[in-house]
Structure 1
């Protein structure tokens, strides 16, 4: 079995870690608010999402948004504007709460009652690698049936756990060539 890549890009190959591509795809499926938090509309959408229930408020506080209820009401009414630091906290809290809320739905959608989801592995970009050092890496597809640890790590925002779950629950199923797909240009799946 191949080992994990230690010195990626030494000869000019370009790509990203597979788990980062998966996180991007899961973020796209989660359906975050598209309007930036710096715009009034985006700010209001995030604040309403974070304050619509007591459970949402508690999750927002746990995610780092620790302002008083009075301040939140002032922001919602437009009487005051949050600082740049608080805008970052609002965005971070919103993404964390949204991931927690959507994770059960995504898990059911991706597992599809044990049938899994077809995943496309787009290989790394070797256009800058000298011809003798290039690997033969082809586009591959795989049906991933175990999404539990992957979605759980994504919802928690734990990059190391997501990397391990992605490698050991999905990529190793590609067989002895799995090390060639640790870095990719893109991961695609339509759930």
Structure 2
């Protein structure tokens, strides 16, 4: 695509890719358990979420948590503690299942029956860039009406698809200088 940055940060600009900022915001809207999985409370919250129904158990298995029911019971009762590798699997499975469960709800909130959601683009930080090399980039807002591909890519945790969806569904609508908003300090929206 035109205007893609190949050497971002070469002259000292700082920021993150726009789709990463969107993923962070969607994660915040998803409402993950705040307590870390290494704490007993965080572990129990995730295990209860992943084992509350047969559908949730199957989704956890599909997401990579393949331990026996007996082992799960021992973890829940506190008789055994998961290994570090299993803690990572629990966290990954929890986030995957939570994203899939919340995606439809978030999609309805963001699309708002075709009205869309107002998105704020906070430009990249150029404070470390020499004055002659700085771009004139300003704070912009845009109403994004098509969130389907964006939320689907986020729910699948597919970074490449999320980047493509974010650029094609939102950023190009900023006009001819959309490439200036490929990297940002923050993307803000409320749903």
Q: TM-score, normalised by structure 2?
A: 0.99
Partner residue in 2 for 1:170 = 170
Match of 2:126?
Answer: 126
For structure 2, list consecutive stretches of 5 or more residues without a partner in the other structure.
Answer: none
Pair 1:139-2:104 in alignment:
no
Structure 1 residue 2, shift from structure 2 partner: 3.8
Which residue in the other structure is 1:159 paired with?
159
Question: C-alpha distance in 2, partners of 1:68/1:164?
Answer: 39
For 1:69 and 1:184, how far apart are their aligned partners in 2? 45
2:11 aligned with 1:11, yes or no? Answer: yes
Q: Counterparts of 1:140 and 1:52 in 2: how far apart (Å)?
A: 43
Moved over 2 A (4+): none
Are the counterparts in 2 of residues 120 and 189 from structure 1 also a CA contact under 8 Å?
Answer: yes
Question: What's the counterpart of residue 35 of structure 1?
Answer: 35
- 1:35-66 C-alpha deviation (Å, 9 max, x unpaired): 11011010000000000111111111111111
RMSD of aligned C-alpha atoms?
A: 0.8
Instruction: List per-residue Cα deviations over 1:22-46 (Å, max 9, x = no partner).
Output: 0000000000001110110100000
| TM-score normalised by L of structure 1 | 0.99
Partner-residue secondary structure (3-state), 1:141: strand
Q: How far is the alpha carbon of 1:151 from its aligned partner?
A: 0.1
Deviations 1:87-136 (A, max 9, x none): 01000000000000000000000000000000000000000000000000
CA distance, structure 2, for counterparts of residue 56 and residue 132 of structure 1: 56
Residue correspondences, number? 191
Contact 1:118 1:141 in 2 (8 A): yes
| Cα distance in 1 for residues equivalent to 2:55 and 2:6 | 42
